[in-house]
Amino acid sequence: MKRAPMWILCALAAPLLLACNSSGVDRMIDSYADVVGHMQDCGLMSEGRIADDVLRLEARDMNDMILDFNVCYFDCVATISCDTMATGVCSDDDSESTAYDRAMGACYADCIPLFTCGDGDTVTYDLVCNGDSNCDDGSDEADCPTVSTDKFDCADGGQVSVTYRCDGSLDCNDGSDEEECPEFRCATGEVISASIKCDTRADCPDMSDETDCGYDPEFKCADGSVVFVRGDCNGEIDCADGSDETGCAAISCEE
């Protein structure tokens, strides 16, 4: 049986409307759960756990527009017929997966969020900050994140934007943009760039760069040991007892 869409559940729960007034993150996770439920009903996914703490982590820095994008996308996946879904999920043949792409495209066109230009026209949000003016007044390209035109001089004579100075990744050919940067010392003594503290990736061996960051970085293995939360249902064994990978919902295609 197909799961009832969220809006039906909310309509039924009208006297308890508060319960449906969830945040964007919750809406996205609900939509994703609908996708999993639909795929399980289609026999394309095993029953099991989904790593919703990891989803929450992924959603942590998404703005409302990106959350709306994802809800639109997941809601579309959850309405696609099982046969069409199977071609999209299980076929390596590009010509077979076009049915899935077509169904997604048709659905997506109806729910993709719209951006309102300064003159009142609307464009789809994928055109915002794409480098081309799509609103007549160019407002879709205003207030976009910019890379500074000010340059940092690499030790080897090259130059990169100062935006990339001390950002945790090597941009000068000689890596000098990441030298003499603020540092963070792990509880275990290793020194890492301060820019990768609280970036939701474990860089210290003891994950101490991800503590006190406003989220729970720990996943508790069945044997009581602790691994980084992103290890949950990621397809690789992180707990010594393998419990991070047991009972996970996973794509299942008939051979």
Q: Interface with Ca ion by CB under 5 A: which residues?
A: 127, 130, 132, 134, 140, 164, 167, 169, 171, 177, 196, 199, 201, 203, 209, 231, 234, 236, 238, 244
For Ca ion, which is the closer residue by CB, 68 or 238? 238
What is the distance between the alpha carbons of residues 189 and 180, in angstroms, rounded to a whole number?
A: 18
CB of 110 to Ca ion, least distance (A): 21
Contacts 24+ apart (CB under 8 A), 71-75: 71/24, 71/27, 71/28, 71/31, 71/111, 72/108, 72/111, 72/112, 72/113, 73/104, 73/108, 74/28, 74/31, 74/32, 74/34, 74/35, 75/5, 75/31, 75/34, 75/107, 75/111
CB of 75 to Ca ion, least distance (A): 25
CB of 53 to Ca ion, least distance (A): 12
For Ca ion, which is the closer residue by CB, 43 or 205? 205
As a whole number of Å, the end-to-end CA separation of the chain is 24
CB of 249 to Ca ion, least distance (A): 14
Q: How far are the Cα atoms of 95, 117, 158 from residue 6, in angstroms, in the given order?
A: 33, 30, 54
- Cα 40 → chain centroid: 22
For Ca ion, which is the closer residue by CB, 62 or 237? 237
Helix (H) or strand (E) holding 71: helix 64-77
**8, two tokens:** 């039906």
For Ca ion, which is the closer residue by CB, 103 or 172? 172
CB of 132 to Ca ion, least distance (A): 5
Please provide the DSSP assignment of 99-114 as one string: HHHHHHHHHHHHHS-E
CB of 107 to Ca ion, least distance (A): 23
For Ca ion, which is the closer residue by CB, 107 or 227? 227
For Ca ion, which is the closer residue by CB, 104 or 127? 127
